[in-house]
Amino acid sequence: MSGRVGSGPWARLVASAVVRDEGSAVAERGRVLARDGVVEELDVRERRVTARVDGCEVVLSAEPVPPRIWTAMVRAARGNAPLEEAVAGKRQSVQLEHLMTIDWSAPLVPRAFEVGRACTCDAGGVCEHVAATAFAFALAIDEEPLLLLRWRGCVERAAEEDEADAEARELEFDPADEALWRAEPLPEPPPLRPLPVGAVLKRLGRSGMQVRGEELSVVLQRAYESFAESAAD
């Protein structure tokens, strides 16, 4: 392991945000502990990073990135291969951090005052155990950038976004798809039900028109009855 624990841009920013002053004696002792593998059981989850350091329990906490901001950032990254890899947690990206800080005022790496620090040694502020955890976390981010996204609550949201996009693509209408234009066979028509002679005339009622002094509907009724008798013969 190199003398500097955490060499990537995200890793360096995380260590700096937690420790604040990397040149202090406390920071140096923490760096040595991390380099010597004293940090154990490092666990990264949304909002919390926990570890055991020299018998002490350490917690680093931060609020997640607002969902609307991360969703917008994921969508903005589409078509830009380096940014797509960054939002997928496959690489550390200065550009992504810059965009989130400048355009959204919500940096991926939380600011120093946004990080909660706690250690069972109750030293107050940043003790060497907190510093060691920060440097160990930074090293872990160098090996797996996705861990920073997990801490900031972006991993599950990215998965949900990918699933929603996949569903949307399945529902997309493609005019070139011949299957969409292929009609199924029409069902057989039901048997015709014979209607009484003059049923339509009876439904419409009287017309109000006279033919040689008779109501038109009466004249037509006789005509329909005559036609029906002729067809039966």
Q: Which two tokens stand for residue 207?
A: 């017309």
Based on the fold, state whether residues 15 and 115 are members of the same structural domain: yes
For residue 93, how many C-alpha atoms fall within 13 Å in the half-sphere facing its CB?
24
What residues contact residue 110 under an 8 Å CB cut-off, 6+ apart?
Answer: 17, 62, 63, 152
Residue 1 lies inside a defined structural domain of this protein: no
Query: Quick one: pLDDT at residue 76?
Result: 92
Distance of alpha carbon 11 from alpha carbon 5, whole angstroms:
8
* Structural domain containing residue 214: 199-232
The 10s digit of each residue's pLDDT in 85-122 is 999 999 999 999 999 999 989 999 999 999 999 999 87
Residue 23 lies inside a defined structural domain of this protein: yes
Query: Quick one: pLDDT at residue 164?
Result: 47
Question: Mapping DSSP to helix (H, G, I), strand (E, B) and coil, where does residue 226 land?
Answer: helix
As a residue count, the chain comes to 233
The 10s digit of each residue's pLDDT in 184-214 is 787 887 776 676 777 777 767 777 788 778 8
Residue 48 lies inside a defined structural domain of this protein: yes
C-beta of residue 122 within 8 angstroms of C-beta of residue 83: no
The larger pLDDT score, comparing residue 172 to residue 185, is at: 185
Based on the fold, state whether residues 217 and 157 are members of the same structural domain: no
Query: Quick one: pLDDT at residue 224?
Result: 75
* Chosen domain end from 162, 189, 221: 162
Number of domains in the chain: 2
Query: Which helix (DSSP H) or strand (DSSP E) does residue 53 occupy?
Result: strand 48-53
Distance of alpha carbon 14 from alpha carbon 133, whole angstroms:
11
Query: Quick one: pLDDT at residue 159?
Result: 47
Based on the fold, state whether residues 25 and 78 are members of the same structural domain: yes
The string over 140-154, giving b where at least 16 C-beta atoms fall within 10 Å of a residue's C-beta and e elsewhere, is bbbeebbbbbbbbbb
Of 67, 223, 29, residue with least CA distance to 231: 223
Reply yes or no on whether the pLDDT at 155 is more than 90.
no
The 10s digit of each residue's pLDDT in 22-70 is 668 999 999 999 999 999 999 999 999 999 999 999 999 999 999 999 9
Query: Quick one: pLDDT at residue 152?
Result: 96
Based on the fold, state whether residues 84 and 149 are members of the same structural domain: yes
Based on the fold, state whether residues 13 and 123 are members of the same structural domain: yes
Based on the fold, state whether residues 18 and 116 are members of the same structural domain: yes
Distance of alpha carbon 19 from alpha carbon 33, whole angstroms:
14
137-141, 186-190, 195-199, 221-225 — which is least confidently predicted?
A: 195-199
Q: Which two tokens stand for residue 94?
A: 């200065």
Query: Quick one: pLDDT at residue 22?
Result: 60
Residue 173 lies inside a defined structural domain of this protein: no
Query: Quick one: pLDDT at residue 191?
Result: 76
Name the pLDDT band for 178 (thresholds 50, 70, 90).
Answer: low
Reply yes or no on whether the pLDDT at 166 is more than 70.
no
Residue showing tokens 């048997």: 191
